[in-house]
Amino acid sequence: MAVVSDLEGTLTTGATYRALGREAERCIGRVRYLGFVAGRLPALGGAWAGLSPKRRFQDEWLRRLTTCFAGIEVAAFEAMVARAVEAELWPKRRDDVIAALRVHLAAGERVVVASGSLLPVVEAFATRLGLATGASVEALGTPIEVLEGRLTGRLAGPVSVGEIKARLVHEHLGSERLSAAYGDSAADVPLLLLSDAPVAVYPDDILRATAQELGWRVLAE
């Protein structure tokens, strides 16, 4: 049996865009990075005001942010990602959710972290989680394109959210039973529907309403 958990908002309150933004600034310089951010402020305002889908803005930001790392060697990018996880994502981890995963691991279940974040970020967090729990943790995320050992600055596939994430998990697990799934937002509903025991973690309003309607467990303070 296997258990799948979302990353941002579920396993951590940290944000990939914030952590990798610091690394992007180091790569392209502060002036260029501030220009990159400024050019996207109108879209950010529209997303937060509800004039455009927030999820669409987040996905586009991820695509644009990836361009900042064009030409970087894979090993150098992995070092950046490791710093980002240690500086932003791991310190803001949700210990109660990790404790729940420990129970699954102790029962011999596979644990997979599935996220829309860049795959190297998810892998680095999964590795850190594995060190903390003493078990192997698998990772699924948005792939990045690499050519001759360097990042091209492009994604190698669609952003792994919503139905896409659920499909990746289904393909990854094959016929293996998904005993539980953890997610924090409406975008995680397709993933949660795959599992025997969906858990809404500090859910947004839409997921909370869905969890109440379907009788799902809610994990929140």
DSSP β-bridge partners for residue 199: 182, 217
pTM of the full structure? 0.91
Residue with tokens 């396993």: 11
pLDDT at 78 (0 to 100): 95
- Cα distances from 115 to residues 33, 120, 126, 146, 192, in angstroms, run 25, 11, 11, 20, 13
The SS3 call for residue 13 is coil
Sign of CA dihedral 97, 98, 101, 107: negative
Cα-Cα-Cα-Cα dihedral of 29, 93, 177, 203, to 10°? -100
Domain extent, residue 21, equals: 2-219
Q: How many domains does the chain have?
A: 1
For the record, the structure tokens of 100 come out as 């729940």
Would you say 53 and 61 are in contact if contact means Cβ atoms under 8 Å apart?
A: no
Strand-strand pairing, 110-118 and 138-142:
parallel
- Find the DSSP H helices in the chain: 16-28, 30-38, 41-48, 54-67, 74-84, 95-106, 119-133, 162-173, 189-192, 205-214
pLDDT at position 56? 63
pLDDT (tens place) for every residue of the chain, 221 residues total: 999 999 999 999 998 888 888 888 888 888 777 777 776 665 555 445 554 445 566 777 788 889 889 999 999 999 999 999 999 999 999 999 999 999 999 999 999 999 999 999 999 999 999 999 999 999 999 999 999 999 999 999 999 999 999 999 999 999 999 999 999 999 999 999 999 999 999 999 999 999 999 999 999 86
Residue 55: C-alpha distances to residues 16, 33, 76, 87, 218 (Å)? 14, 22, 29, 24, 22
State residue 97's pLDDT score.
96
102/90 Cα distance (integer angstroms):
16
CATH number at residue 82: 3.40.50.1000
Distance CA 217, CA 37 (A): 38
Cα separation of 72 and 25, whole Å?
13
